[in-house]
Amino acid sequence: MSDSETPEEEVRADSPAASETAVTDGPAEASEESRRGLLIQGITAVLSFLLVAVPSTLAGIFYLDPILRKKKGGGDEEGDGGDEFDGFIQLPVTLDALPEDGQPVSVTVKDTLDDAWNRFRDVPVGSVWLRRLPENNIIAFNSICPHLGCSVNYRSGENDFFCPCHTSSFDLDGNKTNEVPPRDMDSLEIKLGPDNQSLWLRYRNFRGATADKIEL
């Protein structure tokens, strides 16, 4: 100890002043550690949430996309009929393929179907009878008999529609001609396309064995 230092200016490690300094520094360091720990816990919680939420959200979108996918043009997203033809199916025949004398023509209806994550194009979903009337008016009938669901045929000799299962018969306008069927043949909405040649059909099935035309 130099002559300039006095005993009062020395602070011994075991003195009350040293103890007070140690006590004063301790809480500050503990508080800083506590804040740092809370920050790390917060960041960890956020990252954990993101690791769970993001994959779950993507999986949900992937799962629901086929279910929520909107069908256009009778189920084909590539239909070119425009909004006026949403819900219609373009038939594989044109106006010129139908006899001008009104003779019925049977046409298979094919649609694009979505089954969960799969898409199937040109799947046969039914058949219809088409007739061309004067001034290019077209009428369409579902070929399913409204009696018990058999297929209705066209008889050229009798010039009528006939179901061989239970002898239901109808005239060419679809009106029933005996008492076997509970109602007339089920007519369907059909339109000419913008080119005045393509045929667009709103295909529907209906409940059998009832006098009322109830869509399934």
67-74 long-range CB contacts below 8 Å, 24 or more apart? 67/116, 69/114, 71/112, 71/114, 74/111, 74/112, 74/200, 74/201, 74/202, 74/203
d(CA 93, CA 76): 17
Instruction: Please check whether the domain covering 83-202 is classified as CATH 2.102.10.10.
Output: yes
Cβ atoms 189, 202 nearer than 8 A:
yes
Closest alpha carbon to 199 in 153, 132, 143, 154: 132
Query: What confidence tens digit (pLDDT) does each residue in 28-81 have?
Result: 666 777 777 788 888 888 888 877 766 766 666 655 555 555 444 444 444 455
- pLDDT over 50 (residue 147): yes
Parse the chain into domains and list their residue ranges. 13-68, 83-202
* Mean model confidence pLDDT for the chain: 82
Closest alpha carbon to 77 in 106, 119, 25: 119
Query: What confidence tens digit (pLDDT) does each residue in 164-178 have?
Result: 999 999 999 999 999
Give ∠ CA 126-128-99 in degrees, rounded to 5.
145
Q: Could you give phi then psi for residue 117, rounded to 5 degrees?
A: -95, 5
Q: Could you give phi then psi for residue 193, rounded to 5 degrees?
A: -75, 175
- pLDDT over 90 (residue 89): yes
3-class secondary structure, 94: strand
Query: What confidence tens digit (pLDDT) does each residue in 171-215 have?
Result: 999 999 999 999 999 999 999 999 999 999 999 999 999 999 999
